[in-house]
Amino acid sequence: MIPQPLQNLIKHLSKLPGFGPRSAQRAALHLIQSGESMATLQRTLLEVANTVQTCTQCGNIGLTEICHICTDVKRSPSQICVVEGVDDLWAIERSGIFKGHYHVLGGVINAMAGVGPDDITLGQLIHRVETTQPEEIILALGASVDGQTTAHLISTRLAHTGVTISQPARGLPIGAEVDYMDDGTLSIAFQGRRKFG
Amino acid sequence: MIPQPLQNLIKHLSKLPGFGPRSAQRAALHLIQSGESMATLQRTLLEVANTVQTCTQCGNIGLTEICHICTDVKRSPSQICVVEGVDDLWAIERSGIFKGHYHVLGGVINAMAGVGPDDITLGQLIHRVETTQPEEIILALGASVDGQTTAHLISTRLAHTGVTISQPARGLPIGAEVDYMDDGTLSIAFQGRRKFG
C-alpha cells in the first residue's frame, strides 16, 4: 500500500532518537508534501556528510581534523572537561563557564546495555592524560547511576597519574522549587549546605 | 560553536512534525555519529524525491501518475471516501473495510490557521463528483471541530449533485473503558444507542 521507497524512508526516519513508526510516517508525509523541504534536507545531509568530522584529539564535532576548541590558543589545555557526548559539550560552551579543553567519552558505562570501558574513549583519555599531563580533570558526567559508575572508573584508572580530579557541584538548580525536587537532590543539597551570605 | 552545516541540518530536522530544536539536535548527532545511517537517509530521500508522486486523480501517494487504487478494476469508483490526508487513507486501507476510491483533501478548514476552502482540494472534489457522478461520498474526516466544519461545507457544496453523503458512525471505540471516555463521545454513543443482540 505504501510505496517501497517511502517505506524505506519511514524505516530510516524511525531509527532517529525521538521518532517511532507513527511519527516517522508523519514526518515522511510532511517531507513529500512539501517537496522543497525534502530536497533541502537531502542536500543538507550531503553537505554535513562531506564536511563535518570528529576531532581526533577530543571527540568534538567540527569542520577540521582538530576542532576549534583544541586549537584555540586562548584556552588552557591544563584543564580537561570529560563529557558523555557532544551535546553536553555544547551545553557547557553555551554557558561560557569553562575555558579549558574537552574529552568526549562517546557514552557512559552501562552493563545492561552492554557498554563497557572499551566501548567509550576511556583508553584515549588515559593516554592523553599520561602524555599531556594536565592539572585537572573535571568529570562533567550525568548524576545518574551510569554517569557516576563511569566517573568512579575514570578516577580509578587515572589515580597513577596524580592529576586532580573534580566534578561539578550537586544541589538545587537555579529556579528550583523545593517541593518539586526529588529526595536524592534534596539529600545531596542538604548534606552539601554552605554558610549563607 | 556548532559547525554551520550541522546547524543547517538541525534547523531542517526541527521543522519535521514531532521534532523541536532539542530533539533535532539529538537526531543530528545520532546521524553524524553513525555515518552509515546518514548516508542511507540521504540516499533514501533522494530516491523518494525521484520516484514518489501524488496521484492526479485522488491525491494518494504512489509511484505512478494515477495511483494503484484509482487503476484497480476490482475497486468501485461509485463510492468516494473523502479523507483529510494520506495517512488517513493508509489507516482505512489497513482495515480493509473500504473497496471504493478516495479523495485526499490535503487538510481541513481552519480559520485560525488560515486554511480556507481554496487551500484544500474541495474544488477538484466537486468537479470530480459532477463529472464522474458517483453514488456515495463518505466523509471520513476527523470528529473535531475543523473536521466537522469541513464535512458540513462539503455537503453544502455537493447538494446540487444529488449524491448520497454519509459519514462513519460515532461511538465508543473497540476496547474502550467507559470511565476513560470523554463526555462528547459518551453523549454521542448514548444518543446513537442501538438495540442489543
Residue of A52, A97, A121 to mutate, testing the B interface (most B Cβ within 10 Å of its Cβ): A52
* The CATH homologous superfamily of the domain defined by A4-50: RecR Domain 1 (1.10.8.420)
A2 CB neighbours in chain B (<8 A) are 61, 90
Residue of A6, A19, A40 lying closest to B18 (CB–CB)? A19
Interface test with B, best of A9, A23, A45 (most B CBs within 10 A): A45
Q: A93 to chain B: which residues are within 8 Å by CB? A: 1
Residues of chain A with C-beta less than 8 angstroms from the C-beta of B29: 61, 85-87
Distance CA A2, CA B66 (A): 14
C-beta atoms of A48 and B32 within 8 A: yes
Has this prediction a pTM greater than 0.90? Answer: no
With residue A83 as reference, give the H or E element that holds it.
strand A76-83
Query: What is the nearest CA distance from B67 to chain A, expressed in angstroms?
Result: 10
Contact present, B12 and B42 (Cβ < 8 Å): no
**HEC per residue, chain B:** CCCHHHHHHHHHHHCCCCCCHHHHHHHHHHHHHCHHHHHHHHHHHHHHHHHCEECCCCCCEECCCCCCCCCCCCCEEEEEEEECCHHHHHHHHHHCCCCEEEEECCCCCECCCCECHHHCCHHHHHHHHHHHCCCEEEECCCCCHHHHHHHHHHHHHHHHHCCEEECCCCCCCCCCCHHHCCHHHHHHHHHCCCCCC
Say if domain B4-51 classifies as CATH 1.20.1560.10.
no
Residue at A82: amino acid letter: V
Residue A22 or residue A124, greater confidence: A124
CA of A22: how far to CAs of A13, A28, A114, in Å?
A: 10, 10, 28
The reply to whether residue A44 touches residue B9, judged by beta carbons under 8 angstroms, is yes
B180 half-sphere exposure, CB direction, 13 A CA radius: 6
Q: What is the pLDDT of residue B126?
A: 96
CA angle B61, B67, B68 (to 5 degrees): 120
CB atoms closer than 10 angstroms to residue A16: 24
> Can you give the pLDDT at residue A102?
96
Would the pLDDT of A120 be above 90?
yes
Of A3, A16, A26, the CB nearest to B87: A26
Q: Is residue A40 very low, low, confident or very high in pLDDT (cuts 50, 70, 90)?
A: confident
Architecture of domain B61-166: 3-Layer(aba) Sandwich (3.40)
Query: What pLDDT, on a 0 to 100 scale, did the predictor assign at position A110?
Result: 92
| Cβ contacts of A173 within 8 Å, gap of 6 or more | none
Contact (Cβ atoms closer than 8 angstroms) between residue A171 and residue A192: yes
**Predicted pLDDT at B115:** 92
- Could you tell me where in chain B the CATH 3.40.1360.10 domains are found? 61-166
Residue-by-residue pLDDT tens, chain B, 197 positions: 788 888 888 998 998 988 888 899 889 888 888 777 888 888 888 888 888 889 999 999 989 999 999 999 999 999 999 999 998 998 888 888 899 999 999 999 998 999 999 999 999 999 999 999 999 999 999 888 899 999 999 999 999 999 999 988 888 888 888 888 888 888 888 888 887 77
Yes or no, beta carbons of A12 and B42 under 8 Å apart:
no
Q: What's residue B194's pLDDT?
A: 80
Q: For cell 583519555, name the residue.
A: A125
Chain B nearest-CA distance from A78, in A, is: 21
CB contact under 8 A, A48 and B12: no
Q: In sequence order, what are the residues at sequence separation of 6 or more whose Cβ sits closer than 8 angstroms to the Cβ of residue A113?
A: none
Q: Which helix (H) or strand (E) holds A54?
A: strand A53-54
Half-sphere exposure of A99 (CA within 13 A, CB side): 4
Q: Which residue of B has its CA nearest to A89?
A: B1
How far A9 CA lies from chain B's nearest CA (Å)?
A: 6
According to the model, what pLDDT value does residue B125 have?
Answer: 97
How high does pLDDT run on average in chain A?
Answer: 90
Look at residue B111 in the predicted model and tell me its pLDDT: 87
Q: Which residues of chain A does B87 touch, with a Cβ-Cβ cutoff of 8 Å?
A: 25-26, 29
pLDDT exceeds cutoff 90 at A173: no
Pick from B1, B42, B86: CB nearest A90: B1
Average pLDDT, integer, range A23-49: 86
Domain with CATH 1.10.8.420 in chain A: 4-50
Q: According to the model, what pLDDT value does residue B117 have?
A: 93
Across the A:B interface, residue pairs with CB atoms under 8 Å apart total: 145
Compare all CA atoms of chain A with the CA of B85 and give the residue at the minimum distance. Answer: A29
* B49/A42 touch (CB, cutoff 8 Å), yes or no: yes
For residue A94, count other CB atoms closer than 10 A to its CB.
10
pLDDT, position A59: 93
